Amino acid sequence: AKALGGGQIQRYSEELNQALQRKLTLENQLRHAIGRGELYLNYQPKTDLRSGGVAGLEVLVRWKHPEHGSISPAEFIPIAEESGLVVPIGEWILRTAVAQRRAWSDAGVPDVPVAVNLSGKQFLGTDVVALVGAVLRESGLPPRLLELELTESISMDDPVRTADLMRQLRELGTTLSIDDFGTGYSSLSYLKRLPVDKLKVDRSFVLDVHQSAESLAMVKAIIAMAHTLRLEVIAEGVENDGQLAALRSAGCDQIQGDYFSKPLDADACAEYLRKHGA
Ligand code: C2E
Ligand code: CA
Ligand code: CA
Ligand code: CA
């Protein structure tokens, strides 16, 4: 390798230092974000391709930072995971989403389930079954209105415990999805042993599903396999007509993405549900 000049080395270490600084600063500020009311939730509709109506909502957390403006969960959830802050933050998200769904039901907003993302730490490192059970009991929300999304990679970290926890969550009456499906390497026999209801095809397959024979073949194979196991399939990140048509022809059950609706704040979401809800 070519030797780096002194100036270049200094520049690299400055950049590294800045990235590390930002991360440390964000971590400290994240510690106070709930208490200061800086976190809030968005809801993105999932559309049923057969009926054309809304089949559910995914809850997506947002951080309104006092100086940096809106910070993406893609940046702060990994920081929260690493520091363990994802546990209290995840609990706040679950409670807030369930309370919102309950309030909507009381106000006559169509009864479609809300799906909450569970992080790896939250799922494998805390008593998630006790938490979900308590939140459902305290809120009085019918458990069928709560769906839980778990990434494929988490489920593969500890397959035996994962299956056991999923079974317990399902006994509470919630629905379970495997998120970002296709990015891990789970096998058919592995999937068969997991008590799940739905697969969520990762956006990376959706991106060029209308332009690439290989992506379309992958998606078709996932859908065929899922349907054999009697699982529903939802595709995420759908933005255009071409993707929609390809996914429809592949037999996909549900669609989520900016094509139908971007993530909405609670008021806009209630309005959307009143217009398009079941
Ligand atoms: P994810 O679970 O795969 O969520 C889907 C992401 O795709 C969301 O990004 C959503 O806003 C985005 N998206 C949806 N439709 C489209 C589209 O048509 N085009 C494009 N380009 N993007 C689309 P977001 O909200 O930035 O969240 C990023 C990730 O952060 C999520 O990926 C999830 O892994 C994590 N996350 C978000 N909210 C939570 C949460 O409440 N708890 C946990 N543990 N993780 C969360
Ligand atoms: Ca998700
Ligand atoms: Ca996803
Ligand atoms: Ca994804």
Predicted local distance difference test score (pLDDT) of residue 172: 98
Predicted local distance difference test score (pLDDT) of residue 155: 79
Predicted local distance difference test score (pLDDT) of residue 7: 83
Predicted local distance difference test score (pLDDT) of residue 1: 52
Q: Which ligand is nearest to the CA of 149?
A: 2
What is the distance in A from the centroid of ligand 4 to the CA of 62? 16
Predicted local distance difference test score (pLDDT) of residue 2: 60
Per-residue pLDDT tens listing for the chain (278 residues): 567 777 887 887 888 888 899 999 999 999 999 999 999 999 999 999 999 999 999 999 999 999 999 999 999 999 999 999 999 999 999 999 999 999 999 999 999 999 999 999 999 999 999 999 999 999 999 999 999 999 988 878 888 899 999 999 999 999 999 999 988 877 777 888 899 999 999 999 999 999 999 999 999 999 999 999 999 999 999 999 999 999 999 999 999 999 999 999 999 999 999 999 87
Please give the angle made by the CA atoms of 90, 115 and 67, to the nearest 5 degrees.
Answer: 45
Predicted local distance difference test score (pLDDT) of residue 111: 95
Residue of 30, 60, 155, 241 to test ligand 1 pocket, by largest number of atoms within 8 Å of CB: 60
Predicted local distance difference test score (pLDDT) of residue 27: 95
Ligand 1 binding pocket includes 114 (Cβ within 6 Å): no
DSSP, collapsed to helix, strand or coil, labels residue 46 as strand
Predicted local distance difference test score (pLDDT) of residue 96: 98
DSSP strand E in 128-269: where? 146-151, 175-181, 198-201, 232-235, 254-256
CA distance 32 to 34: 6
ipTM for the complex shown:
0.97
pTM: 0.94
Ligand 1 binding pocket includes 237 (Cβ within 6 Å): yes
Taking residue 219's Cβ as centre, other Cβ atoms within 10 Å add up to: 24
pLDDT by residue (tens digit) across 224-251?
A: 999 999 999 999 999 999 999 999 999 9
> What dihedral do alpha carbons 241, 246, 251, 255 form, nearest 10°?
-40
Ligand 1 nearest-atom number relative to CA 262: 15
Q: 121: closest CA among 82, 94, 68, 169?
A: 82
DSSP, collapsed to helix, strand or coil, labels residue 260 as coil
